[in-house]
Amino acid sequence: MSLKFYRRVAFGLSPNDKQDKDPLSWALSQLNSIPDLLWPGTIPTEKELRKKYGEWVYGDREVLRKKFKNDKHAYKKAKDELRIKTGERYFELNEHAIRHYQTRHSTQPVFERFWLFWGNHFAISEKDFLAEFSTGPYQREIIRPNMVKTFEEMVLSVTTSWCMIHHLDNSESFGPNSKKGMEWRETINENHARELLELHTVSPNAGYTQEDVIQLAYIMTGWSHKWSRKNLETGDVWFDQEMHQKGDKIVLGVKYKNDAKRELAKVIHDLVTHPICIKFISTKLCRHFITDEPTQEMISPVIEAWNRSNGSLTEIHKAVITQAYKYNETTHKFHPPEIWLMQLSRMFDLSIPLSAEKMNYAFKSKPTSKQRQLSWILREIGNSPYRAKQPNGWSDFEIDWVSPELLLRRFWFASIELPILVKSENNSHDFILACLKNNFEDYENMASLIHQFRFGTSDKDLGRKYGVICNLPGVLKV
């Protein structure tokens, strides 16, 4: 069995990891439970960060803009002080550290790979300071706990989460004949309903119409955050009956009788059990772990596991891994920059993320350059995880990652930045060879490419070694 399986479904093997005699069993055994978060530093809750977000929004929108409306210079200075006080420039950095520490040290790295997949499937795009305050805890507290439940339970949790409701503006959606809709002359916002259909469940392959989107938006009216003068839009999610559209609705030919908040769970059940939804998500999973264009032969066992288990994500994940193992030698998959970085970090024992102690933040000054380092690297290699430009998340297709610019960015990182992250005790040619031997069958051929730099000890020579190795086709693509 090729060593690339450990990189296909996980993050490769660290210098302390050993190859398992039964790699498939090794992988499958990691999917039955949710591993604890290992980050030894601060892990703020979603509610705590939402409170901080509320302080930021209220402080800026309701205080500073009014106080300094005639003094732009004073407003800018006060706003920068508010950024520091609320941690607006810190929390995303901390979330990146939590995420990368987990993928580097977890004893269930296969589970972590699925965590990354689902976080990107139910993506929160870059808007309204969600990356700064909300996307990290949303992925930790909404996505992660549902990964051993059913897809239906995950979709319902995601759809009614504060982060997704705010991201897709469902609090701004009013039933036209609801009490508030008529009093305030407001109507529906289709964003959340459209993404639930298009991206999260059935996809356009289901042939839904604009009327289906409207009817689903009617069903979703009322799901909003509690608004108050102090908290603004950062209050808890609730169902506001006075915003909900009255009457029956029809989505994809199914009638849903007027049933207030219970309508959403009913329509989600029908969407997630729709054969087109099952095929759409199964295909995405196979694309992520096997190849850009998975065949029906690859996808069918995943669909069968889905139907057999009534959408149990544990069983679906196991079917995907089994297929990835089966096609490990005959398919190839190009990894996006963040997963590539995570694999290099684990394989070469890099000193990222920064230690929890050094990530501590006093809320008195800007984060240090060291605290910003990991987030800066992610941005520079083109894959900042909480800042997808669109609601469909980051692409899983090779063609979107092989532009000359993005490949040059990876070469820059491996040649210039990575050597700085190598621990001093590991700064040797022999250490590199040991890491290669632990992760690649053709490590001798790889080693021959850097043999000319064998006796070089300068940063420049070390950069040449990693620059060559980390951008070989067998490292970029498994």
H or E element, residue 372: helix 369-380
C-alpha torsion sign, points 283, 288, 293, 296: negative
Spell out the residues 6+ positions from residue 416 whose beta carbon is closer than 8 angstroms to its own. 463
Query: Would you state the pLDDT for residue 453?
Result: 63
HEC letters along 74-125: HHHHHHHHHHHHHCCCCHHHHHHHHHHHHHHHCCCHHHHHHHHHHHHHCCCE
pLDDT class of 458 with cuts at 50, 70, 90: low
Paired strand residues for 251:
254
Residue type, 383: N
The share of the chain scoring above pLDDT 90, in percent, equals 91
Instruction: Give how far the C-alpha of residue 57 lies from the chain's centroid of Cα atoms, to the nearest Å.
Output: 24
Question: How far is residue 285's CA from residue 87's CA, in Å, rounded to a whole number?
Answer: 35
Q: Kindly tell me if the per-residue pLDDT of 459 is higher than 60.
A: no
Q: Is the peptide bond before 301 cis (omega within 30 degrees of 0)?
A: no
Mean pLDDT of 419-434: 90
Closest-CA residue to 437 (of 103, 106, 15, 24): 15
pLDDT class of 451 with cuts at 50, 70, 90: confident
Residue type, 419: P
DSSP 8-state code for residue 311: S
pLDDT tens for each residue of 39-95 = 999 999 999 999 999 999 999 999 999 999 999 999 999 999 999 999 999 999 999
**Backbone φ and ψ of 352, nearest 5°:** -130, 145
**Token output for 427:** 């700064």
pLDDT class of 219 with cuts at 50, 70, 90: very high
Q: CA angle 95-120-269, nearest 5°?
A: 120
Instruction: Give how far the C-alpha of residue 163 lies from the chain's centroid of Cα atoms, to the nearest Å.
Output: 13
Spell out the residues 6+ positions from residue 323 whose beta carbon is closer than 8 angstroms to its own. 286, 289, 290, 298, 301, 302
Q: What are the extents of the domains in the chain?
A: 162-272
The Cα-based distances of 6 to 59, 289, 327, 333, 453 in angstroms read: 48, 11, 13, 13, 28
More confident residue, 447 or 344: 344
Q: Give me the chain's average pLDDT, please.
A: 95
HEC letters along 435-451: HHHHHCCCHHHHHHHCH
Query: Would you state the pLDDT for residue 138?
Result: 98
HEC letters along 157-226: HHHCCHHHHHHCCHHHCCCCCCHHHHHHCCCCCCHHHHHHHHHHCCCHHHCCCHHHHHHHHHHHCCEEEC
Query: Would you state the pLDDT for residue 471?
Result: 94
Query: Would you state the pLDDT for residue 232?
Result: 86
Give 272-278 contacts, CB < 8 A, sequence gap 24+: 272/151, 272/152, 272/155, 272/201, 272/311, 273/152, 273/311, 274/201, 274/202, 274/206, 276/202, 276/203, 276/205, 276/206, 277/201, 277/202, 277/203, 277/206, 278/303, 278/306, 278/307, 278/311
The share of the chain scoring above pLDDT 70, in percent, equals 98
**Token output for 11:** 């993050």
- Cβ-contact 324, 415 below 8 angstroms: no
Question: How far is residue 172's CA from residue 224's CA, in Å, rounded to a whole number?
Answer: 8
